[in-house]
Chains A and B, each alone.
Chain A
Amino acid sequence: MSVESLKCKECGTSYELDASYVCENCFGPLEVAYDFSGLDAAEVKRRIQAGSQGIWRYRDFLPFEGRASDPLEPGFTPLLKADRLAERLGVGAEIWIKNDAANPTHSFKDRVVAVAVAKAKELGFETVACASTGNLANAVAAHAAAAGLDSYVFVPANLEEQKLLATGVYGTNLVGVRGNYDDVNRLCTQLAETHPWAFVNVNLRPYYAEGSKTLAYETVEQLGWKLPDRVVSPIASGSLFTKLGRGFQEWLDIGLVEGVQPVFNGAQAEGCSPVATAFAEGWEVCKPQRPETIAKSLAIGDPADGPYAVEQARRTGGGVDSVTDQEIREGIKLLAETTGIFTETAGGVTVGVLRKLAERGELADGERVVVYITGEGLKTLDATRDTFQMHEIDPALESFEAEFPQEVAV
């Protein structure tokens, strides 16, 4: 099997495959290391195509030696060609929407949590936990329920009501912390030291993060085993953004796909843009910010993978942009009106940045752009409130015709 060890991304020190996430020598993040040298590309491709209709079809690239158990398998979400969106943006590029709201709990977080919960079970944990901006809370509560594990879910207390309701329903211990996400994250880092729990994005983070690679694999497969020319992805901690790059690179390395890494464009909300700021200023580290944005799922002021996200945007000739709350609302509406996909605020951020790239003339004719929509609009309803008007009428023909005189039947 190909999974080998945990390895420090900064200094390269190797560790056992257990519940740890920090290098003891330099405090750098640990990442799962594999040995793919024994893999035959044609054989792997056949195995993938004969696999399940979800993320476990990519088991050769996930951190398990045996079969991982998962009663709530995410993945294989639709990739749609969005010609009407391209037309509205006035570009000749091919725009594709990867709608990852079509997962069991309606966000891409199902991918990372499925991997983390399977690993938690394998390592013998009885309780899973997380620090969340909302989508992760939904996913951890649901996957824990499906797997029969206890769960503790920590969120900022002022989260959107929809995200609280869609967490509590699974019977988790829902803890609203009076503070922002970075406060929640610090608290969970401390709790992880004293409680024998699998915090999916703390002590299990190296495994958890691997789940995001499946979004890259699916994109390649759904494009007919081809790489996109460019990707536009939201950035919160920077983990998804960097793991997309790792996913593409692994398949390039073993010869499952040919070409070069896509150009990476990251998307942040202006009210929480530590990565966009670091990119613009030419910094190698991100200066933490206090978030103030309607895009709460992206409101991480101190992004763990920020430096790597900046580096990836630079290396691929891309960038990291930010958009205002108003541009986020417009982005949600633009996507809905041209594709029929209703996304949450994070998707509004991503579409907002796509629009900026189009307006700046950065999208070339014929270029294939994949836009990652990571969450569902029904979870952030406030962002669409008062953006349109309902016509209220009596149940009578005259009443309808009075409201819509241009539609009077002749």
Chain B
Amino acid sequence: MSVTVKIPTQLRAATGGEAALEVEGNTVGEVLDAVFDAHNGLKDRITQDGDLRRFVNVYVSGEDIRFQQGLETSINDGDEVTILPAVAGG
């Protein structure tokens, strides 16, 4: 499954300025692994011990993955994966 991953401003230093990446994957976990393969510096910034850090939110087509199956959430054709900081609001 080919999917677009939106990269937030704060992480673009690690993607050479790219705001969106095209990668392959069937689950959110696979998609993120593909992103980390392409841009090595991203992994440590948003994961710790194999899990997402606690201030990182990931959405599949606007839906928070914590309301779905987390990193196991499956990806459908045309989905967009968005990584955003969790520290806004209130």
Contacts and interface: CB of A to CB of B under 8 A. Distances in A.
B57 A24 contact: no
Given A10-B55, A26-B45, A288 B64 contact: yes
Contacts of B46: 27
Contacts of B9: 193
Contacts of B59: 186
Contacts of A287: 66
Interface string A249-287: 000000000000000000000000000000000001101
A324 interface: no
Interface size classification for chain A: 35 or more
Interface in A267-326: 284-285, 287-288, 290, 300, 302-305, 307
B62 A29 contact: no
Contacts of A305: 90
Contacts of B67: 288, 290
A247 to B, nearest CB: 17
B79 to A, nearest CB: 16
A10 B87 CA distance: 12
A152 interface: no
A303 B66 CA distance: 13
B17 interface: no
Contact of B55 (A24, A29, A201, A238): A29
A236 B90 contact: yes
B90 A300 contact: yes
Interface size classification for chain B: 20 to 34
Interface in A148-188: 181-183, 185-186, 188
B64 A302 contact: yes
Given A186-B62, A193-B8, A288-B64, A24 B13 contact: yes
A22 B86 CA distance: 9
A287 B59 CA distance: 15
A97 interface: no
Contact of B57 (A25, A201, A236, A302): A302
Given A27-B55, A27-B56, A288 B66 contact: yes
Contacts of A199: 88
Contacts of B84: 186, 189-190
A77 interface: no
B71 to A, nearest CB: 15
A207 interface: no
Given A22-B10, A307-B54, A29 B87 contact: yes
Nearest to A193: B9
A192 B59 CA distance: 17
Given A193-B8, A285-B54, A28 B64 contact: no
Contacts of A372: none
A302 B86 contact: yes
A300 B89 contact: yes
A237 B54 CA distance: 15
Given A27-B46, A288-B67, 11 more contacts: A22-B87, A24-B10, A27-B85, A186-B57, A190-B82, A193-B9, A201-B88, A288-B66, A302-B57, A304-B87, A304-B90
Q: Which 6 residue pairs are nearest across A and B when measured between Cβ atoms?
A: A237-B90, A29-B87, A185-B89, A22-B85, A202-B88, A22-B10
30 contacts: A21-B85, A21-B87, A21-B88, A22-B8, A22-B10, A22-B55, A22-B85, A24-B11, A25-B45, A26-B55, A27-B45, A27-B53, A27-B87, A29-B55, A29-B87, A182-B89, A186-B84, A189-B85, A189-B88, A189-B89, A202-B89, A205-B89, A236-B90, A239-B90, A288-B64, A288-B66, A290-B67, A302-B89, A304-B88, A304-B90
